[in-house]
Structure 1
Amino acid sequence: MPNDNQGGRSDRRPHRGSDGGRPRPRRDQRPAPRHSGPQRARPAQPQHDAQSGGGAPPIPAEIEARQLAPEVRRELTTLDRSTADFVARHLVAAGELLDEDPEAALAHARAARARSTRIAAVREAVGIAAYQCGDWSQALAELRAARRMGSRSPLLALIADCERGVGRPERAIELARSDDAAQLTGDDADELRIVVAGARSDLGQHEQALAVLSTPQLDPSRSGQTAARLFYAYADTLLTLGRSEEALQWFLHAAAADLEGATDAEERITELS
């Protein structure tokens, strides 16, 4: 979620046999989340509603509305000043907590939504926090709402990944054929490729998953989180197909690209060596 001062990294890493990780909220897109990109399919778990016993969670005293990203603050100008400040501070708190305590982040995002249901950035914030909690159904509803309200964030990979999470991999593949998907470029397009490959693997279509990941041709000289997870997904799919020597090579590429520890590629290399 969008903060002006978000730094550091997320320590969420793909599990064994992962597809490289479901779309991950990008740091430069957070506090009413500005986000794309896949984490990994895992069974949805019941989430307790952190607001259920008594209103909005307390906001740490050091949190200020001005920490919210300027483009998100502009979305709040339709609210009265007091409400805008309340919503902004909860969004900042949600962004700060998203990696380490996603359920607390979700409680803050829900508190913001309770006062501003018609703001796209707020619905996006709830969707991303729900996604981090593994609540695919809620994430799907909120991210779709954000898109309908005109969110300018590239949310398609997250939405497709939520379809995987609720057991509809075919729908994720269908979304990747849409006109909106055709407009994606760079990391946003790669995030969707990772999701679609995961959906193909969900259906046991591992050769098709490999084809999705290798078109266009992979460039092992790339670095960064998205490249690392793309190479990781490719390596993991090769391993599933019994091509362990090639898999080892691509795990090595993933480790070299992974400057922020987004994957467990080094562990996989140790296992295969």
Structure 2
Amino acid sequence: MAEQRRTPRAGSGRPSRDGDRRPGDQSRGERGARGGSRAPRKGDWSRPREEQRPRSQTQAVYDGPPLPEDITGAELDRSVTGQLKGLPEKLAARVARHLAAAGQVIDSDPETAYQHTLAAKARAARIAVVREATGEAAYAAGHYAEALAELRAAKRMNGATAYLPIMADCHRALGHPDQALKLAKSPSVRNFSPAAKAEMTIVEAGARRDMGQLDAALRTLELAPLTSKSREAWVVRLRYAYADTLEAAGRETDALAWFHRTHAIDSDEITDADARAEALERRQA
């Protein structure tokens, strides 16, 4: 896929979404999360380390990656920690630390971020924000089937539709562009913020390209606010996707102009529009 994918940070402070936990569910959920693991037998701890039994895969997931000592969980947005208040205090603190650790490394080491969210999920699988974070980390790490499953679970719990662009992109990555288009046509998309609408537009256009419908992809992007005076990232990404699609359609002169227009507002260099423009100029020289 030519256009870039972006994922929100796990636990990065989205608007508060209520989970569906009921009083008394915590103990059942906790028992279920620990279901496949073996409680350490007394004799294990009296043996030398090299003779102790290796951890099962379930226990390894439950433990998660090592937690940096400086991560306390207080790094999370209140909308996230608010959803953890129904958990016992020590359990909530552990889940929060794993979510915070995931948020810190999701860009540099998405696989480790994903493992942190799996550890949080093993302890609190019935909390929507935990499933959301797991889905977003899975997406960042390239585990698209897992990301789709987790975001579906989060959506069932809290009814949120903000996940739809990522879910649609997961369908694309899994080779189901038709399913991506179905999500792009969801009625709730009309109420999205400009940034979320732009993300869905990019995914929709990409799905059209996956199906060999370049003209339809261009029309999809041309209906978006490509000429917006905003310099926000979503405008940069829209322009880049349009330039890239123009080049794919063989309209190199138009593509060059739009790569330049993209670079002109891309102060954070989130795209390689400048390099793409230079490559086209060399080709046309």
Q: Same fold (TM over 0.5)?
A: yes
Provide the rounded CA distance (Å) in 2 between the counterparts of 1:51 and 1:102. Answer: 21
Alignment of 1:240-255 (within 5 A): 240-255=248-263
Q: Is the 8 A contact 1:31 1:95 kept in 2?
A: yes
215-224 or 201-210, which deviates more: 215-224
Provide the rounded CA distance (Å) in 2 between the counterparts of 1:54 and 1:144. Answer: 22
**1:115-157: CA deviation from partner (whole Å, max 9, x where unpaired):** 0001111101111111011111000000111111116471110
222-231 or 144-153, which deviates more: 144-153
User: Structure 2 counterpart of 1:172, which letter?
Assistant: A
Matched with 2:93 is: 85
- Larger relative contact order (C-alpha < 8 A, sep ≥ 6)? 1
Distance 1:57 1:113, change over 3 A: same
Q: Which of 212, 219, 223 in structure 2 is aligned with 1:215?
A: 223
Matched with 2:4 is: 21
Q: Which runs of 5+ in 2 are unaligned?
A: 16-56
Give runs of ≥4 in structure 1 deviating > 6 Å.
Answer: none
Provide the rounded CA distance (Å) in 2 between the counterparts of 1:75 and 1:54. Answer: 20
Alignment of 1:221-240 (within 5 A): 221-240=229-248
* Deviation at residue 269 of structure 1 after TM alignment: 1.0
Q: Is the 8 A contact 2:61 2:119 kept in 1?
A: no
Provide the rounded CA distance (Å) in 2 between the counterparts of 1:85 and 1:170. Answer: 41
Distance 1:54 1:146, change over 3 A: closer
* Deviation at residue 100 of structure 1 after TM alignment: 0.2
User: Structure 2 counterpart of 1:137, which letter?
Assistant: A
User: Structure 2 counterpart of 1:248, which letter?
Assistant: L
* Deviation at residue 224 of structure 1 after TM alignment: 2.3
User: Structure 2 counterpart of 1:267, which letter?
Assistant: A
Provide the rounded CA distance (Å) in 1 between the counterparts of 2:160 and 2:68. Answer: 29
Q: Is the 8 A contact 1:220 1:253 kept in 2?
A: no
Q: Is the 8 A contact 1:120 1:151 kept in 2?
A: no
**1:58-94: CA deviation from partner (whole Å, max 9, x where unpaired):** 1101101211110000000111111100000000000
Aligned length: 240
Distance 1:58 1:74, change over 3 A: same
Distance 1:265 1:51, change over 3 A: farther
Alignment of 1:253-268 (within 5 A): 253-268=261-276
> TM-score, normalised on structure 2?
0.79
Q: Which runs of 5+ in 1 are unaligned?
A: 1-16, 36-48
Compare the two structures and name the one with the higher helix fraction: 2
> TM-score, normalised on structure 1?
0.82
Q: Is the 8 A contact 1:224 1:259 kept in 2?
A: no
**1:94-124: CA deviation from partner (whole Å, max 9, x where unpaired):** 0001000001001100000000001111101
Identity of aligned residues (%): 42
User: Structure 1 counterpart of 2:215, which letter?
Assistant: E
